[in-house]
Amino acid sequence: MSLLEPLPDCYEGDPDLLPPDEAMRRIRAHVRPVDATESVAVIDALGRVAARDVVSPMNVPGHTNSAMDGYACAGDSLPDGTPRWYEVVGTAWAGKPFAGPVGPSQAARIMTGAVMPGGTDTVVMQEHVEAEGDRVRIPPGNRPGQHVRQAGEDIAAGAVVVPCGRRVMPAEMGLLASLGIAEIEVYRTLRVAYFSTGDEIRAPGDPFEPGLVYDSNRFTMHGMLGRLGVEILDLGIVPDRREAVFDALREASARADVVLSSGGASTGEADYVKEALQALGRVGFWRIAIRPGRPLAFGLLGGSAFFGLPGNPVAVMVTFYQFVAPALRAVSGEIDSRPLPAVEARCTTRLRKKPGRVEYYRAVLERDEAGALVVRSTGRAGSGLLHTMSGANCFIVLPEDGATVEPGATVEVQPFFGLM
């Protein structure tokens, strides 16, 4: 990846925190999609991003065919006033056409999906005719051209079916297969490296003593990255030593397109992430007006994009979903992601809020007895406790200028999951 544009000045010392919209705008302005592409089998393409428009090589349906079981005839032979008898001259099955021809006073028995025989353009449902031997009687009231699917009606040959920048989901896999396409050109998979920082951080399984904290951030990151389909490079836990942090950033940027760290991003004495980023790369911004997650660093590190996430486990998840995930999608080449819009719901809990920052409460969105959307918080906005995320299915997003929310007020909600 190359991040070609110059970064704006560092925001160090600026008393104003960067609004989250502006932070996201800057991230988007400075990340570029990977440039390499590869061809993969459609069966292996789930989660990959199309690197060019895929154009349909054929019409779908491939032939004009019947949408119903019934009788095919010529539309201009249909009766106006009184029913009319037709001679049945053959049967058209799906996959076994009846070539025709079918004359003006003739009809062909036809099954759903069967190619329309020569001389016919209309299907009369079998429930609407009276059959007698090899004759059928068609009543008035049918419309010429009815119950017929035209060739190319769903997809015309030459139409773009998967645009460049769309992530391949199950529907795209089926769609490509339905056109006889076995391979698709996609952007190469992103490589994302991450590490945790902190002298007090231990891996699960290590001995535990007072003052130590088990590392959860590499696990949530692994989970969140896994769902984005990137290649993951886990660089472990890095102690709060200047050289160790410098080495970790050097190694990570040499090996990955995007580098994520957690912790050590504040301005405490042992927080070396910012110093390392300044020395080895460029700091894009440092502090964002959000809670949790204020000390979120973004910058460039060699050819890689770098996010210095906070240490607080909830802040890691909030900043990942709000900033890192959209950035990773952009670097993956995705330009057509169609995220679910936020929804509004009545909040049943009181939410403390100070003006001047966007706050993300973890919450449960559900319907009340009357069927209205209601939402309740699972814990305090700034809490570091992951159980507030674990029990949640959405974020409540309180705007920068908003004050404390009293029960009954309407709030904006970002659902975690859609149907897929």
CB 68 within 8 A of CB 120: no
Nearest approach in angstroms of CB 415 to ligand AMP is 26
Q: Which of residues 185-214 bind Mg ion (CB under 5 A)?
A: 198
Nearest alpha carbon to residue 373 among 339, 394, 345: 345
Nearest approach in angstroms of CB 358 to ligand AMP is 20
What proportions of the chain, in percent to the nearest 5, are helix, strand and coil?
Answer: 20, 30, 50
Q: Among ligand AMP, Mg ion, none, what binds residue 266 when CB lies within 5 to 8 Å by partner kind? A: ligand AMP
Q: Could you say whether residue 335 binds ligand AMP (CB under 6 A)?
A: no
Nearest alpha carbon to residue 307 among 8, 24, 47, 48: 24
278: three-class secondary structure by DSSP:
helix
Q: Could you say whether residue 215 binds ligand AMP (CB under 6 A)?
A: yes
Nearest approach in angstroms of CB 215 to ligand AMP is 4
How many residues bind ligand AMP (CB under 6 A)? The answer is: 18
Binding residue for ligand AMP, selected from 59, 66, 216, 378, defined by CB under 6 A: 216
212-239 in b/e burial notation, b at 16+ Cβ within 10 A? Answer: ebebbbbbbbeebbeebbbebbebebbb
Binding residue for ligand AMP, selected from 148, 193, 201, 289, defined by CB under 6 A: 201
Per DSSP (E only), the strands in 358-406 are: 358-367, 373-377, 394-398
Nearest approach in angstroms of CB 264 to Mg ion is 5
Q: Among Mg ion, ligand AMP, none, what binds residue 196 when CB lies within 5 to 8 Å by partner kind? A: ligand AMP
Task: Mark out the alpha helices in 31-77 (DSSP H runs).
Answer: none
Q: Could you say whether residue 70 binds ligand AMP (CB under 6 A)?
A: no
What is the DSSP secondary structure assignment for residue 320, as one 8-state letter?
Answer: I
Cis peptide before 61 (omega within 30 of 0): yes
Report which residue's Cβ sits closest to ligand AMP. 311
Nearer to Mg ion, 106 or 312 (CB): 312
Q: Could you say whether residue 297 binds ligand AMP (CB under 6 A)?
A: no
Q: Could you say whether residue 308 binds Mg ion (CB under 5 A)?
A: no
Q: Could you say whether residue 313 binds Mg ion (CB under 5 A)?
A: no
Strand ranges of the sheet holding 304-309, from the earlier edge strand across to the other edge: 231-238, 191-197, 258-262, 304-309, 297-301, 282-285
Binding range to Mg ion, per CB under 5 A, among 58-66, 164-172, 303-311, 409-417:
303-311
Nearer to Mg ion, 93 or 219 (CB): 219
149: three-class secondary structure by DSSP:
strand
Nearest alpha carbon to residue 1 among 300, 273, 324: 300
Nearer to ligand AMP, 310 or 402 (CB): 310
- Tokens representing 347? 């909040």
Alpha carbon distance 395, 287 (integer Å):
21
Q: Could you say whether residue 273 binds ligand AMP (CB under 6 A)?
A: no
Nearest approach in angstroms of CB 22 to Mg ion is 27
110: three-class secondary structure by DSSP:
strand
Q: Could you say whether residue 313 binds ligand AMP (CB under 6 A)?
A: yes
Q: Could you say whether residue 263 binds ligand AMP (CB under 6 A)?
A: yes
Binding residue for Mg ion, selected from 264, 284, 295, 379, defined by CB under 5 A: 264
Phi then psi for residue 201, to 5 deg, are -85, 130
Q: Could you say whether residue 308 binds ligand AMP (CB under 6 A)?
A: no
Q: Could you say whether residue 263 binds Mg ion (CB under 5 A)?
A: yes
Nearer to ligand AMP, 66 or 319 (CB): 319
Per DSSP (E only), the strands in 25-141 are: 37-41, 54-55, 65-66, 70-73, 84-92, 106-110, 122-125, 130-132, 135-138
Q: Among ligand AMP, Mg ion, none, what binds residue 383 when CB lies within 5 to 8 Å by partner kind? A: none
CB atoms under 10 Å from CB of 146, counted, come to: 16
Binding residue for ligand AMP, selected from 261, 304, 312, 377, defined by CB under 6 A: 312
12: three-class secondary structure by DSSP:
coil
Alpha carbon distance 395, 389 (integer Å):
9
> Pattern of binders to ligand AMP over 161-200, x per CB under 6 A?
-----------------------------------x-x-x
Residues in the chain: 420
Nearer to ligand AMP, 49 or 265 (CB): 265
Nearest approach in angstroms of CB 264 to ligand AMP is 5
* Contact residues for ligand AMP, defined by CB under 6 A: 196, 198, 200-201, 213, 215-217, 262-266, 268, 310-313
Q: Which residues bind Mg ion (CB under 5 A)?
A: 198, 263-264, 311
